[in-house]
């Protein structure tokens, strides 16, 4: 990803994540389903969206998979991609520049993308381009895990980093400051991923839903 995609092969060392603060466990039906595929064989290419997580790198490489990491939310919120304002005072985004810098993936294709909650925090102008980029960068049958807030409650929805575990739970830890931008309905999600071949949702009781979308 032109210098912003961190490649971790099986057996490679992990760098410090620079994160701090407590972690808390949350059951994830989506992660439970993907973990079964990861345990069934090795050699998958996994793209993990979020700041570098040594926990994720170590677990995935221990199973024989290759791991690539990119923090699209952090890159989007640098302000680098805003070129001005429109007549209503809304920011004008350099979508093509963001795409070229962050969504080319150096020609790699992925079998699995751990997108987590990124779509809820990206600026509106970047949401569709990100989904299209993943569609083009995933192998047929590839699976993307996304987590969506069911309500737009900014004060109660800080941005978290997700750390995977060898169980059906994931660990959440506060990430860089980012503001929730949207809460997508089931219909919104279906429209956003209309070009994909399948979608399975996992309902939860804690204000979020999960979906595995199949390329």
Q: How does pLDDT run across 72-130, given as a tens digit for each residue?
A: 999 998 888 988 888 787 888 999 999 998 998 888 899 999 999 999 999 999 999 99
**pLDDT value, residue 156:** 83
> What three-state secondary structure class fits 174?
strand
Q: Which residues pair with 93 in a beta bridge?
A: 82
Cα torsion 140, 141, 144, 149 to 10°: value is 120
CA distance linking residue 122 with residue 128, whole number of Å: 10
- Any idea where the domains of the chain sit in the sequence? 6-11+18-214
For residue range 160-185, list pLDDT tens digits in order.
999 999 999 999 999 889 999 999 98
Take residue 57 and report the two structure tokens written for it. 């790198």
The domain covering 6-11+18-214 belongs, at the CATH homologous superfamily level, to Vaccinia Virus protein VP39 (3.40.50.150)
* Helices of type H across 2-89: 29-40, 54-62, 72-76
């Amino acid at each position: 990803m032109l210098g912003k995609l961190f490649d971790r092969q099986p057996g490679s060392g992990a760098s410090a994540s620079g994160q701090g603060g407590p972690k808390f466990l949350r059951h994830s039906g989506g992660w439970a389903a993907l973990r079964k595929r990861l345990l069934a064989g090795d050699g998958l290419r996994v793209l993990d969206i979020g700041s570098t997580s040594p926990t994720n790198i170590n677990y995935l490489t221990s199973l024989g998979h290759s791991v690539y990491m990119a923090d699209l939310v952090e890159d989007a919120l640098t302000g680098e991609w805003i070129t001005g304002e429109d007549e209503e005072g809304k920011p004008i985004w350099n979508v093509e520049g963001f795409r070229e810098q962050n969504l080319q993936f150096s020609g790699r294709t992925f079998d699995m993308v751990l997108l987590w909650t990124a779509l809820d925090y990206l600026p509106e102008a970047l949401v569709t381009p990100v989904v299209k980029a993943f569609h083009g960068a995933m192998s047929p049958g590839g699976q993307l895990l996304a987590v969506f807030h069911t309500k737009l409650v900014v004060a109660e929805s800080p941005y978290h980093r997700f750390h995977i575990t060898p169980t059906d739970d994931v660990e959440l830890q506060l990430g860089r400051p980012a503001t929730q931008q949207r809460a997508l309905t089931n219909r919104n999600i279906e429209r956003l991923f209309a070009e994909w071949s399948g979608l399975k949702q996992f309902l939860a009781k804690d204000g979020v839903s999960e979906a595995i979308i199949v390329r």
